[in-house]
Amino acid sequence: MYDADPAPILQRARGRASVALSLTGGRTRLDRLHQAGSAKAFLPRVHGAAPEVVFLNTAGGLTGGDRFRFGLDVGPGAAAVATTQTAERAYASAGGVAGMEVALTVGTGGALDWLPQETILFDRSGLRRRTEIALAGDARLLWSEIVVLGRSAMGERVETLDFFDRRMVTRDGVPVMIEPLRIDGAVLARRDGAAVLGGARALATVALVAPGAEGAAGRVRDVAPGVVQAAASGWDGKCVVRALAGDAFELKRYVARVLAVLRPGPLPRVWQI
C-alpha cells in the first residue's frame, strides 16, 4: 500500500522595492534605490519638473502567500509622482492570502502624487493591503485608488473574495485620514444594496490632503461624472472624492478628469486610458 503523495509546496513571490528622493540644487534627485525579488522600481525620463517613480511586480500578479512591499521617501521640499506600471491583479488563491505593504513619506514642503493604477480582484482571490503615508509639516498629498471586481469584458463575476485594504495618512504623526475597506463574500451577496456597492463593479477614492485642500471640492463637483456615480467632500485640509461605476474603464476616465482638476500636468506616462 502506497502513501499518498504529499501536498506540493507551491512557490510564492516575494519582492521589496524602495526609492528615496531629495531636493538638491533646486531639483528633485534620486538618493537611493533598492529592489529585491519580484519588485522593481524605475524612473522613466519625463519632461516635467517632478520625477516619476514607477513600481512594478514582475511576478505578473498576486496570489495566496505572495508578499510585497513598496516604499518611497520624498525629502523636504522635493516633489514626485509615483504610480504602478500596470494594473495590479489578485488571482484566485489555492490557499491563504497575498500581502502588500506600501509605505510613503513626504517631508516638510514636499509634494507627492501617489496614483497607482487599478487593482483587479478575481474570483476566489485573497489580498491584505496596507498603505501608510506619513506627511510632515505642510506636505501635500494627492492620492487615488481604484478597485475593480473582475473583468466585465470577459464576463467575469466575482462571488467569493477576501479583500482587506487599510489606508492611513498621518501628518506629523497624527492620523488625518483612516480608511479601511473590506470586501468579502457577505458584502458581495448584498452588492446591489445602496449602502454597499449599489451594483457597481468598480469603485474609486481620490484624496487631496494639503493645507486648504477643502477648497478644491467645488471644482471637483463641476467634473461631469457621465455614467459614474460620484460625490466630493471638503473639510479640514482634505478633499475626498468617492465614485462607483459598472464599467471600470469609464470609472478610470472619470478619475483622470478629477486628477486633471487637482494637479497640473499630464497623467503618468504609463497610465492606460
- Percent of the chain clearing pLDDT 70 (strictly above): 95
pLDDT in tens, 96-146: 899 999 999 999 999 999 999 999 999 999 999 999 999 999 999 999 999
Full-model pTM: 0.93
- Per-residue pLDDT, averaged over 205-230, amounts to 96
pLDDT in tens, 149-205: 987 666 678 889 999 999 999 999 999 999 999 999 888 888 888 777 888 899 999
- Please give the full DSSP string across the chain, using - where no structure is assigned: -PPPPPPP-----EEEEEEEEEEETTEEEEEEEEEEETEEEE----SSSS-EEEEEETTSSB-TT-EEEEEEEE-TT-EEEEEESS-EEEPBPSSS-EEEEEEEEE-TT-EEEE-PPPEEEPTTEEEEEEEEEEE-TT-EEEEEEEEEES-GGGT-----EEEEEEEEEEETTEEEEEEEEEEEHHHHHTTTSTTTTTT-SEEEEEEEESTTGGGGHHHHHTS--TT-EEEEEEETTEEEEEEEES-HHHHHHHHHHHHHHHSSSPPPTT---
Q: Per-residue b/e over 36-70, b at no fewer than 16 CB within 10 Å? A: ebbbbbebeeeeeebbbbbbbbebebbbbbbbbbb
pLDDT in tens, 115-125: 999 999 999 99
pLDDT at 100: 97
pLDDT at 198: 82
216 pLDDT higher than 80: yes
- Per-residue pLDDT, averaged over 260-266, amounts to 91
pLDDT at 190: 86
pLDDT at 9: 57
pLDDT, mean over the chain: 92
pLDDT at 10: 62
260 pLDDT higher than 90: yes
| 43: region left, alpha or beta (phi > 0 left; psi from -120 to 50 alpha) | beta
pLDDT in tens, 1-11: 455 555 555 67
- Per-residue pLDDT, averaged over 206-211, amounts to 98
Between CA 18 and CA 168 the distance in angstroms is: 19
* pLDDT tier for residue 73 given thresholds of 50, 70 and 90: very high
- Per-residue pLDDT, averaged over 206-221, amounts to 97
pLDDT at 153: 64
- Per-residue pLDDT, averaged over 255-272, amounts to 91
